[in-house]
Amino acid sequence: MATMKAIEIKDGKGRLENLYIADIPRPKITGAQALVKVKAFGLNRMDLLQREGKYPVPPQAPRTLGVEFSGTIEELAGDSESEFKVGDAVFGLAYGGAYAEYIAVSTHMLVHKPDELSWEECAGIPEVYITALQAMYLIGEFEPGKSILWHAGASSVSIAGQQLSRVNGASEWYATARSDDKTDFCVKELGAKAAYNTKTTKWDEEVLKATDGKGVDIIVDFIGPDTFAANLNAIARDGRIVNLATLSGMKLKDTDADFGAFVRKRVRYEGSSLRSRDEKYQGKLRDQLVEHALPRFKDGSLRSIIEKVYPWEQIQEAHRQMEANLTKGKLVCIIS
């Protein structure tokens, strides 16, 4: 049986010290899959939760962590998309398995790597940009001229979302974060009209002031209970609030939320996820990435912003940096 090196978790779950490199069976491909030799993989907050046994992993996912990667195609199954050939440089999104030398992944979720981008840059694109596009277009019903606010503004998804807001014609975009350093980053580096420190300001009231009382058309939220009431205050009439995570917990506690806003403003408040979606749905999002973003990466108007690149032997240190919650960009590991 062919083997490969991959990052395993001692005892199946636990602290970052449980991560180590081991030999495991190389995956076999079927259907429309490709076997990709991984050059680099991106880290995501879900990886921390999965490592701790707190993430609902899809049944088709291998036990190995990691959902985004770049590399070269080693082998193709019989039903793979015809535009891909053995030897092609690609990047893509998978249900799991990217923390390894090889990954089995549907060709419906692969994208040809542009010559203009590095392996590391490409490994930091799929999860965050596809998630941002899903929030904007499929759920938020974004159109040019609409305004949008991105919570957790220095997170990788919101960094991608603010860039997409700019190049796809948002009238204006805003952000929130929990430090002045991060709010300054959103304004100075990403072009937000304003960004608000949620620890020191009533950000919803500031948004209403900045929009002459109208509010924003779309809010993309990762926080959950702690932003629920303020989201309803800051959203515009016929607005869309997209919830992608619940970083502040799972339960609504004491709240002064104005539930009348749902009727008065005709608000839609919708939750979503990406990893649990079927291959057809994810394939549509892959196509959106190719249509809305890939040409912009080639001409430089969109960037894959990398905070730090680690050799994969330092995976524990990479997880430690992500846990510190101080990053303003992607963490990426390379496999030598």
* Residue 276, pLDDT score: 79
Q: Are residues 87 and 213 in the same domain?
A: no
Q: Extract the tokens encoding 99.
A: 């923390």
Domain-terminating residue out of 245, 271, 297 = 271
* Residue 255, pLDDT score: 86
Number of domains within the chain: 2
Computed over every residue of the chain, the mean pLDDT equals 95
Q: Are residues 155 and 227 in the same domain?
A: yes
* Torsions phi, psi for 103 (to 5 deg): -140, 140
Q: Which residues, 6 or more positions from 27, have their beta carbon under 8 angstroms from its beta carbon?
A: 35, 62, 97, 102, 103, 104
Quote the CA–CA distance of 336 and 92 in Å, as a whole number.
19
Q: Are residues 306 and 258 in the same domain?
A: no
- Domain range enclosing 159: 128-271
Cβ-based burial of 238 (10 A; exposed 0-12, middle 13-18, buried ≥19):
exposed
Residue 34's DSSP bridge partners are: 76, 105
Q: Are residues 135 and 208 in the same domain?
A: yes
Quote the CA–CA distance of 180 and 334 in Å, as a whole number.
31
Domain-terminating residue out of 255, 271, 287 = 271
Q: Are residues 293 and 208 in the same domain?
A: no
Residue 280 pLDDT more than 90?
no
CB atoms within 10 A of CB 260: 9
Q: Are residues 81 and 195 in the same domain?
A: no
Question: Alpha helix (H) ranges present in 52-155?
Answer: 119-123, 126-133
* Residue 150, pLDDT score: 98
CATH of the domain at 144: 3.40.50.720
Q: Extract the tokens encoding 312.
A: 């994969």
Q: Are residues 158 and 231 in the same domain?
A: yes
* Residue 196, pLDDT score: 98
Residue 160 pLDDT more than 90?
yes
Taking only the tens place, the pLDDT of each residue in 215-257 is: 999 999 999 999 999 999 999 999 999 999 888 888 998 888 9
DSSP state of 99: S
Residue 283 pLDDT more than 90?
no
Q: Are residues 113 and 143 in the same domain?
A: no
* Residue 278, pLDDT score: 79
Q: Are residues 305 and 178 in the same domain?
A: no
Quote the CA–CA distance of 113 and 290 in Å, as a whole number.
11
Domain-terminating residue out of 271, 294, 326 = 271
* Residue 104, pLDDT score: 97
Taking only the tens place, the pLDDT of each residue in 191-219 is: 999 999 999 999 999 999 999 999 999 99
* Residue 301, pLDDT score: 96
Q: Are residues 36 and 10 in the same domain?
A: yes
DSSP state of 277: S
Q: Are residues 230 and 316 in the same domain?
A: no
